Amino acid sequence: MTAAEQEASTDRIDAIAEYFSSKWRDCPPIHVVPTAADLPFPAPSDAEGASRRGETFLVAGALDQRRAVEVIAHEVVGHHGLRRTLGGAWRSFLASTLDGTRRDPALRATRQRIEQIYAADGGTVALPPMKLADEIAATIAERSIDPRTGEMAVARPLQKQAAAVAGHVAREVLLLDRAVCADQLQGTVLLAERQLRVGGTFLGWRRRIAGWYAGFMAYKFDPNARPMSLQEAQDLLRAENTRLKNKDENGIVLQVLALAAIVVFFVGYLAWAGIKTFGWLH
């Protein structure tokens, strides 16, 4: 490849990276380099992309436009997005994904394909278990995007997102030992891509609500106001004690109602899945 061709290739991939950077509000920085030798860290000569310390790198010389979209989905959605979406549950999710490869045929086939790619010279897999699970999730993300449109293209998206939520509730709320299946993993990938688009940690609303609440509750100090009397101070403390007591009681009620709603949703989903599995729902 001549210098002019290399520059043109880099410009094309850079344009694709800029498109996704503007599309995804929480997209990490994406850097495009001409060859793997230009990466700021050691990498195989056939590397297509990588993620390091919250940044994504693309190797323009190894990518055409179609493959560039898939690698962006792999690195940004599969690695960065899933980790950001799952937060503290990320490691346990990966462990459950590995467990799922022993039961789910689609995940097992994906695992075997990755093991073939990363097999060492002696035939042993050169990836630690958590890295293997991370690559499985990223590969599912890569397969879930339409490289022609740049949009996620997954069959039954709502059902798979519901399965992802139900699985998360079972593992993280009800503390049940449940493996991740292919539908749950694809649903989690869809949720991760949505979070990249809207930003924040709660569908984009958490930061705005926090900012509004902080401004609303901020104490407005008036230097010209008269000092509070002893009686007023006692009345204020008494009212605050009453408010805190009511808040604690209401909080317990809300927690019970929220837990009941989660249980009802989870049981309903399991019942629906069972009906569909045994052919009672047409």
Beta bridge pairs of residue 146: 151
Alpha carbon distances (Å) from 224 to 104, 215, 233, 268: 70, 22, 18, 60
DSSP assignment of 147-161: TTTTEE--SSHHHHH
259 and 134 within one domain: no
> What is the Cα–Cα distance from 206 to 77, expressed in whole angstroms?
21
184, part of any domain: yes
If asked whether residues 167 and 278 sit together in one domain, one would say no
247 shares its domain with 186: no
Tell me, what's the pLDDT at 206? Answer: 46
Residue type present at position 200: G
Check if the beta carbon of residue 169 is closer than 8 Å to that of residue 265.
Answer: yes
**Domain carrying residue 107:** 3-198
Nearest of 145, 90, 137 to residue 111 by alpha carbon: 137
Does residue 205 lie within any of the structural domains?
no
* pLDDT tier, 9 (very low <50, low <70, confident <90, very high otherwise): confident
Residues 129 and 259 in one domain: no
Residue 215 lies in a domain: no
Q: How many structural domains compose the chain?
A: 2
Q: Are residues 279 and 162 in the same domain?
A: no
Query: Is residue 228 classed exposed, middle or buried when 0-12, 13-18 and 19+ CB atoms within 10 A define those classes?
Result: exposed
pLDDT level of residue 247 (50, 70, 90 thresholds): low
- Same domain, residue pair 64 and 131: yes
Contact between 3 and 28 (Cβ < 8 Å): no
Q: What secondary structure does DSSP assign to 17-40, as a single string?
A: HHHHHHH-TTPPPEEEESSGGGSS
> Per residue in 78-126, pLDDT tens?
999 999 999 889 999 999 999 999 999 999 999 999 998 887 655 566 7
Q: Do 20 and 152 fall into the same domain?
A: yes
- Is the pLDDT at 221 greater than 60? The verdict is no
Mean pLDDT of the chain: 84
The residue among 183, 198, 213 that closes a domain is: 198
Residues 17 and 116 in one domain: yes
The pLDDT tens digits for 154-209 are 999 999 999 999 999 999 888 899 999 999 999 999 999 999 998 765 434 444 55
Q: CA Rg, the chain, in Å?
A: 25
Give the largest CA-CA distance in the chain: 86
Single-letter amino acid, residue 139: T
- Tell me: do 184 and 238 sit in the same domain: no
Inside any domain, residue 210: no
d(CA 220, CA 217): 9
- Residues 271, 24: Cα–Cα separation, whole Å: 36
57 and 188: one domain? yes
* Domain assignment present for 93: yes
User: Do residue 16 and residue 112 come from a single domain?
Assistant: yes
Q: Clarify whether residues 248 and 143 are in a common domain.
A: no
Predicted TM-score of the model (pTM): 0.70
What are the distances in angstroms from CA 140 to CA 3, 111, 190?
A: 35, 10, 10
Residue 218 lies inside a defined structural domain of this protein = no
Checking if the pLDDT of 5 tops 80, the result is no
Answer yes or no: is 214 within a domain: no
Q: Of 198, 220, 241, which residue is a domain's last?
A: 198
Does 219 reside within a domain? no
